[in-house]
Amino acid sequence: MVLYLSVIFFSMMIVSVLNILFCLPQLNVPWWTVFACVSIVVAFQFAVDGICAIIVKVSPESWYNKNKKIFQVSASEIRFLNFLKVKKWKDFVWELGGLGGFRKNKIQEPQNQDYVERFLIESNKGVVTHLFGIFAGFAAIWVFPFRFALTVCLPIALVNMVLNIMPIMVLRYNIPKLLALQKFLEKREQREQNVLV
């Protein structure tokens, strides 16, 4: 969480200072208005991400089935995520699943098939939420006055995009491991049933 908040605060400062130094005459506003505008655009990004999360949360769970092609992680994607060393930095990514009722930073019940299935669904919901957040974040360019579109809204939307891509990568990195765990649990249950028969 500290990392994310630091990135957000640092980005706000950079965007504000650069606008004050280089764009103030074109913006035709007092310097303090730039700080206010940057803060409002960042608050807008938080609100948009929250709205995306609510929309995904109330949508039917059947949309997030692990068997749908869109949620399957290919071997080349796994190699790419390993190349990016997601395993080393994934614990630094802000995990807000607890706000929606399901934390995804640690498997709490690794022996429970229903829990692992729920984890997969929630991971797929997380991917969709963050994808929506990326695209919806660029709405700031059209929502706020045009003079702030390229110098304030666009840079903040790009930071929002990066901060949404990182959790997507972590979730996609974890999905094959969850599927392997689920397959292991299913085979174990079958073995146990065969012994009882």
Tokens linked to 65: 């089935």
pLDDT at 46: 94
Host domain of residue 179 = 2-196
pLDDT per residue over 26-72, tens digit each?
888 898 999 999 999 999 999 999 999 999 999 999 999 999 999 99
Residue 182 to residue 83: CA distance in whole angstroms: 25
pTM: 0.88
pLDDT at 48: 94
| Number of structural domains found in the chain | 1
Maximum Cα interatomic distance, the chain, rounded to a whole number of Å: 82
Q: What is the CA radius of gyration of the chain?
A: 21
Residue 125 to residue 71: CA distance in whole angstroms: 10
